[in-house]
Amino acid sequence: DTAVSQTPKYLVTQMGNDKSIKCEQNLGHDTMYWYKQDSKKFLKIMFSYNNKELIINETVPNRFSPKSPDKAHLNLHINSLELGDSAVYFCASSQDRVENSPLHFGNGTRLTVT
Amino acid sequence: AQKVTQAQTEISVVEKEDVTLDCVYETRDTTYYLFWYKQPPSGELVFLIRRNSFDEQNEISGRYSWNFQKSTSSFNFTITASQVVDSAVYFCALSEAKIGETSGSRLTFGEGTQLTVNP
């Protein structure tokens, strides 16, 4: 029943490792996003895909690479993890045919880099 | 550039009190959308309301109400008769309109207001 689901919920890893976070939505939405929430709870957009095409790419290190195999999935791969990457990463989706439709967020993935 | 300011970092009230969370925004767009999201202690982000810049009518949903004032660039959120379950971080957000484009909703979030409702 979960509308936007991300896995894993928690991810603890060491500096220098490569990790992926998966996201799937079953809402039939056209657009998916990755947002990062830092330790002060500030939320900032990282990427957005519409129908598998990258449409928003904020100033994010190129160690972060989103991949959208189809419009229901948007995965986030992070290479060479650094301490500063520790944060909560939220996947979201919206029905873009509805103008500025609300974002539906997943439950977040708490990434801890040690 | 867009900006959203939630000046109240933390608010603490006693159950049944009314509480207003302030949100002030800046944008050069004449058409835009405003949102409120709730993040309870469990961590998920829950959509509460969306309002476009042409609709200045206030909205009420149960104990929640929103006051949109374009003249002061504010979109404040009031919880009436607060309850412990209202304890959460509340985010105000702004999105520029993309009429006719499929370019998604780039939300600019405020820094959030931590609301604690004590029994």
Are B105 and A104 an interchain contact pair (Cβ–Cβ within 8 Å)?
no
Closest partner residue to B44 among A56, A103, A105, by Cβ?
Answer: A105
Contacts of residue A43, Cβ cutoff 8 Å, sequence gap at least 6: A35, A36, A37, A90, B45, B91, B107, B109, B112
Q: Render pLDDT for A30-56 as a digit per residue (tens, 0 to 9).
A: 899 999 999 999 999 998 888 888 887
Tell me the nearest-neighbour CA distance from A87 into chain B, angstroms: 12
Instruction: State the Rg of chain B over Cα.
Output: 14
Q: What is the pLDDT along chain B (119 residues), one digit of tens a residue?
A: 789 999 999 999 999 999 999 999 999 888 899 999 999 999 999 999 999 888 888 888 899 999 999 999 999 999 999 999 999 999 999 987 665 555 567 889 999 999 999 99
Q: Whole-number mean pLDDT of chain A?
A: 91
Q: Render pLDDT for A73-88 as a digit per residue (tens, 0 to 9).
A: 999 999 999 999 999 9
Report the length, in residues, of chain B. Answer: 119
Contact status, residue A96 vs residue A31, Cβ threshold 8 Å: yes
In this model, does residue A107 exceed pLDDT 60? Answer: yes
Establish if A50 touches chain B: CB-CB under 8 angstroms. Answer: yes
Say how many C-beta atoms besides its own lie within 10 A of residue B56's C-beta.
12
* Nearest residue on chain A to B104, alpha-carbon basis: A96
